[in-house]
Structures are given as structure tokens and as C-alpha cells.
Amino acid sequence: MKQEILNKVNTWLTGNFDESTKKVVAALQQDPKALEEAFYKNLEFGTGGLRGIMGVGTNRMNKYTVGMATQGYANYLNKCFPEGVKVAIAHDSRNNSRFFAETTAHVFAANGIKVFLFESLRPTPELSFAIRQLKCQGGVVCTASHNPKEYNGYKAYWDDGSQLVPPHDKNVIQEVDKIASVDDVKWNGHDENITLIGKEMDEQYIQMVKSLSVFPEVIAQQKNLKIVYTPIHGTGIMLMPEVFKTFGFENVHIVEEQSQPDGNFPTVKYPNPEESEAMHLGLQMAKKIDADILCGTDPDADRIAIGIKDNHGQWVLMNGNQTAALAFNYLLEARKTKGIAQSNDMVVTTIVTTPMIDKIAKGNQVSCYRVLTGFKWIAEMIRQREENENYIIGGEESFGLMIGNQIRDKDGISAVALLCEMAAYEKQKGRSLFEKMIDLYMEYGFYKERLISIVKKGMDGQQQIAKMMERYRNNPPASINDVAVMQILDYELQKGKNIDTNEEWPIEIPKSNVLQFILADGSSISARPSGTEPKIKFYFSVHDTLEKAEDFDKMDKKLEEKIQKLIEGLSL
């Protein structure tokens, strides 16, 4: 084992760490591989904060890694706002989330920062809302979102309620890196700086969500819309029942087996609504009661999934691109029908989300902007344009939507409410949501996407991913499945290139390690290493014209085969 690792282990055995931690580290010495994994590096405070497996060690989520990160963040906040700092702190249902939130609160308080700590678990979007309502300079939510139960995390926010963007993200990282020891952390003191918040903020948030409703009169007529909802053992249960009631929905069925917050997520392997396994109990209930729509949120209630009946009456889960297309179209169409659309309305999506969003925006005469993956970049675009343009909705393929102008992160609570309103709106017209989806395909083109994730765990996992990206960057394919690559967009180098003409042009958005291949038939493939997990993601998008609704199944199969051939062409 490297001496550097042994030195770290010795520091944890002899330094100012609690005795229970020292005992666990001592016991871990009997398992050299596990010991090495826990100490071979420091858990990185990235541009979104921390995320990792819980346990002892420098490469794990624990009291000490959280405390050191908070000290660095506190130092930066106090530098930026010498006149005084306020922060809001929330947490989800994961194991140790409350402990990490309280640890964070005590370190902030000891640094003279005023803390608003939610009295118990709350959805991440409410944290974003609270930062804005309380005029805070920053905030933290302790969550690992949809990761497996072994993980936890720490997301840092800025004064507009969004996660950190340049220059603050890099500056906070620099301050965190300066904290060389647990002895540099102010752990205790000034507890009078901590104020508990809860129901009053809940009510303000719920009223904000209610204000997003476009057609409350339709809900009144369709109040018996049959809704199934699962919070998947997460924070959605704290607010979603009251939101349904406030909107006027009276026929809501909550999946009882997944209604209790539980960091062990006993009914699922992964608490991720993207996974059909996580939604299987909801699907069972939806089938049993013949529901109109199924909705699920992840543990911190920022992601959403919906299930609907397809054109054969079978229940299917919509992917993130389909959900986004339906949501964007509903808000633009409904606002126009209601007469409240404005000439400066705008929507925002990301570079790996379906091009169908652009088509829908253009069809409604609304500006559409594309940004890097992550809602902090959607928030940054709003910040740049809000003086002259009216933001309506933002979203990305990873099952996230951000509706309205009063939060700056993805919000599964408001998304569930508005998607149920959309289902009521279509039902009022005698249409199912799947029929609406087919209508959109006929109007804007049949776009089909698929995401392939390749996981590379362990110490050399990141190196393997880096080598894959290096290979694609230095030796890009000339064709994929016998279809020529026409353009390469390299967001790390911030340039695009036309393969035929060798023409190059700058990409006017921040750097990101993403490569996109645009093929001669309009298909696209994007390669992007995950910023929060040891995996690389490949996004495939293909499209064709759908002339008639009766041709849906045939065209769906054709596009699915096309994607499969692209995957085989890349040898994934």
C-alpha cells in the first residue's frame, strides 16, 4: 500500500477523530482492499458538492469530510458577503442525512453564519425556494438524489437558489482544498445562529406551485382524475399529498409500501424513478385501479417519472425526453389557449436532450436555448436573460423539469402537479396522454432516444473512462453503422467541426467534457462522463417522419432498430 495512504490512515488513528471512528478504521486494517478504497484519495468537492459512499476515510461521506467541506464553503461565503451571511439547509430521507445536515448547520453557525435548518426532511426544490424567499446567500441540501442506499451527498447553492456556477464553483473548491485537517474546522459554537423552519415555508412553497396552474377550471371538472403516486421512500410524501389537495385532485392513490421515508429503500434496488424496477409497485396499483396517470419522485423529490397507458392499453413508463416534450408542449399550448402567452416567452433545455423540444418551441413561436447538462446551467441562462425574456419551463432528459420563475433547480413536486393537470386537460378533450404524444410526433417529427450507461468502479474506473473519451476525441469514427459522421462538437475544446469541409467554429458555452457526433441522416450520439458517478453516458437520438397515427408501432420499431445499430456500431 502506498505510503501516502498509510499516512492518512495513521492520521485518522491518532488525530482529533472520535473514538468510534478510530475503532472502525482500526478494524478496517484487516481488509487492505477496503482500507485502500476508503483512503486512496480525498472525496472530491466537485462543482456540485460532495457525493460518495458513507463510511470512515478521506474518500467517504462522513462527519469529517462534510465538516471540512462546510468550513471551506463558509470561508468563501464570509469573504464574498462580509456584511453577513444567511444559509438554508435541507436533507432527504437517506441514512445519516439528518446527521450531516446538523453537522453542516453547526459548522456554519460556529463561523458566524445565520442558519435556517428545516426541522425534518424536505424536498430539494423547497430548499432552492427557501433560499430565495429568505434572501440567503447560500444553502446546502444533504442528499445523494437517486443513488443506491450506500451513498449520500452534499449539494451547495448560491444566493439565487441555484447550484454553484463559475466563478463560485471553482472558488469554493479552492477554499475547501485549503482545509488540510479536521483541526481547521470550527465544529461548535454560536448555536443561537440556528433557526428551525418548516410548515410556514411549506405553505409558501405549496402556494407557489399552485400559482403555476394554467387551467384550474379543467381540474375542477376532472377532479376525479385517477392518480397513482409513489414517493419511493423519499421526501415527496412531505408535500405531494397537500399539493394534490390544493390543486383540487380528489382521487389520489399513494403507494402505501413506498410511502414511509426510509434510507434503506426496502422495496427497490435503486431509488431511481428512471428504473422500471423502482416504479413496479406503482405500475401494479395503476393497473389494478385502471388509473389515468402514474407519477413517482426520487428520494429528494427533484426527479420525476410518469407512467401512462399506450395505444394498446398497456402501461408504459415514459422516458425523460418524452416527459419533457409533453410538459413543454402543455405549458406552451395551454398558455396560448388561455391567452396568457407573451411574445418574450422562453424555454431552456440541455445539449443532450431531445431536439424535439426545439421543434415544439419553434412551433409555438417561443425562444429555446440549449445549455450544458445540469439545472444550474438552466438557472444561469435565466439569470442572463430574465431582464428581457419571460422564462416558462426548463428540462432535461434525466427526468427533471423546472417550471416557473421562483425556484432554480429541478422540481419533481411542481412537475407532478402540472403533469397531472396536463392529463386532466387531455382527458377533458377525450384524449389520452399517449395519443397526445403521437399527435406531437406527427406534428414535429418522431424523435426517439436511448441512454446507455457504462459503469467503471474502483480506483482505475475514472482512468478507464478518461481513456475512452481520449480515444473518441483523438480518433473519432468516420462513420457509425455505415452512416457518415458529418459534424463533431467538442464541448471540452469548445469547437465544432464539419468533417466534409474541415470548417471549424467556436461553441459559445462553458467547457464540459462532452463529445457529440452528428450523422448524415440527422442522428446524433453524445458521450459524456458523469459528474457524480463512476460512469460514462452515451445518448442516442434518431428521428423520422410519422405520417399517420396507425403507423406508430411500425415507425417505433424502425427507430428502435436504428438506435440498436448505432450502439453496435460503437461496439458498446
Catalytic residue positions, numbered: 145
**H or E, element range at 315:** strand 315-317
Residue 178 backbone zone (phi > 0: left; psi -120 to 50: alpha; other: beta): alpha
Task: Please count the CA atoms within 13 angstroms of the CA of 246 that sit on its side-chain side.
Answer: 22
Residue 167, preceding bond cis, omega within 30 degrees? yes
Residue 396 and residue 324: Cα distance in Å, rounded?
A: 7
* DSSP string for residues in 77-88: HHHH-TT--EEE
Q: Are 559 and 465 in contact (CB under 8 A)?
A: no
Distances (CA, A) of 421 to 169, 249, 380: 37, 9, 28
Residues forming beta bridges with residue 497, ordered by sequence position:
488, 504
Neighbours of 502 (CB within 10 A): 7
Q: Are 320 and 398 in contact (CB under 8 A)?
A: yes
Q: Which three cell numbers stand for residue 41?
A: 484519495
Q: Beta-strand (E) ranges in 432-568?
A: 446-455, 479-480, 483-490, 495-498, 504-506, 515-519, 524-529, 535-544
- Residue 115's Cα: distance from chain center in Å? 25
Residue 337 and residue 346: Cα distance in Å, rounded?
A: 17
Q: Are 68 and 187 in contact (CB under 8 A)?
A: no
Instruction: Write phi, then psi, for 497 (nearest 5 degrees).
Output: -140, 135
Residue 213 and residue 222: Cα distance in Å, rounded?
A: 14
Nearest to 351 by CA among 155, 496, 535: 496
Residue 515 and residue 512: Cα distance in Å, rounded?
A: 9
Task: Please count the CA atoms within 13 angstroms of the CA of 489 that sit on its side-chain side.
Answer: 19
Nearest to 304 by CA among 289, 317, 288: 317
Sign of CA dihedral 385, 387, 390, 396: positive
Residue 123 and residue 235: Cα distance in Å, rounded?
A: 5
**Length of the chain in residues, anyone?**
572
Q: Which three cell numbers stand for residue 563?
A: 438506435
**What letter would DSSP give residue 430?**
T
